Structures are given as C-alpha cells and as structure tokens.
Amino acid sequence: MAANSSVESIINNIRRVFQAFNDYSKRANMEAGLTGPQLWAIKVISENAPLRVCDLAALMFVRPGTVVGILDRLEKKGLVTRIRSQQDRRAVMIELSAQGKELVSAAPGVIQGDLIRGLETLPEEELLDIDASMARLVAILGVQQLKPLMIHGTDEAVQGDDTPAGC
C-alpha cells in the first residue's frame, strides 16, 4: 500500500475513506431503524442528559440547526423529549424518553455502532497512529476553517476557537 506516494493518490484515499464514513453514517441501522447521526445523538444524550440543543450540537461537532432536524425525527419516534427550561426560557432541555432509555440499556452495542466496534478490535498502537493522523488532518482543516485570512486575504470572522458551535 502507498507505494505510489504522490499527494494525488493519498488524497484519493482520504476522500474514499470520508465517503465510506459518510455512507456508513447515513445508512439506516437495520437493528434499530436509526441512522448513524441519530444513534450518535442518542448516545451523547444518554451520557449528558439533561442538556441543551446547543450543547448537543457542540458535542456532536455540528450546528444547532442540524441538531434540530435530528431531534425532530427522534422526537417523532418517541425516543427523546424536549422540555423548555425554567431557568432560561430560551433554552430547551433534551432528555431520553423511557423508550429511549430502554433502547440504550437493552442494546448498548447498537448504540455504539459498527465503527466503534471495528476500531475496538485494533491494537492500542494502531489506534494511536490513527489518532495522530487525525490530529494532523484536523490541524490542516482547522486552520483553513478558522483562519482564512492568511489564505484568502479576507480578514473577517477570524476566531481561534475550538468548538464549532459556540452556544
């Protein structure tokens, strides 16, 4: 592998992984009838409930608007509840419904997802290699995302923050 080490071929490899991950993420999970993002949201909520929409968005590295759609679908399935906060009536507290909690306790493996199960089979050493590679990529992508002024010449909206959803 990687005998042809041109940037081109590596890029293609990366794109392919991302496409595969997207595919994996979006396909409905047969066992639960939920998509990857939906399963991920359930898992994050189960570990952090009660939490606000923007907190969930930050933990999932997406924008609040995206989480609203996911929550709409999970609420329609009866897996989560949205309750207006008393302290801050702008905020909405998210929790798992009884049915949602049942799902988590009954099938933790389903919630985990195939990706996590697959990675858990790797030796620690390889996990660290992958993590290091991810760190390099996030550095590249992060710099381009948050500091475009050096690249594009526009000096607006530059913040060195770490969390995509500021809340």
Partner DNA sequence: TAAGAATAATTCGTATAAGAATTAAATCCG
Partner DNA sequence: CGGATTTAATTCTTATACGAATTATTCTTA
Q: Binding residues for DNA, per CB under 7 A? A: 19, 22-23, 25-27, 34-38, 52-55, 60-66, 68-73, 82, 85, 88-92, 164, 166-167
CB of 88 to DNA, least distance (A): 5
Per-residue contact string for residues 49-78; x = within reach of a second copy by CB under 8 A: -----------xxx----------------
Smallest gap from residue 73 Cβ to a second copy (A): 19
DSSP state, residue 78: T
- 30 touches which of a second copy, DNA, none (CB within 5 to 8 A by kind)? a second copy
Among 19, 85, 99, 105, binds a second copy (CB under 8 A): 19
Are the beta carbons of 92 and 84 closer than 8 angstroms?
yes
Asked if 157 is part of the footprint of a second copy (rule: CB under 8 A), the reply reads no
Q: From the list DNA, a second copy, none, which binds 102 (C-beta under 5 to 8 Å, kind-based)?
A: none
Give phi and psi for 30, each to the nearest 5.
-60, -40
Amino acid symbol at 63 = R
Q: What are phi and psi of 85, to 5 degrees?
A: -70, 145
Q: Which stretch binds a second copy (CB under 8 A): 2-10, 67-75, 76-84, 87-95?
A: 2-10
How far is Cα 77 from Cα 102, in angstroms, rounded to an integer? 13
Residues, the chain, total? Answer: 167
**Distance between CA atoms of residues 111 and 107, nearest Å:** 7
CA distances to 52, 56, 90, 103, 105 from 112, in Å: 22, 17, 32, 12, 12
Do 67 and 56 meet the contact criterion of CB atoms below 8 Å apart?
Answer: yes
Nearer to DNA, 82 or 101 (CB): 82
| Residues binding a second copy (CB under 8 A) | 1-2, 5, 7, 10-11, 13-25, 30-31, 40, 60-62, 114-116, 118-120, 122, 124, 126-138, 140-145, 151-152, 154, 164
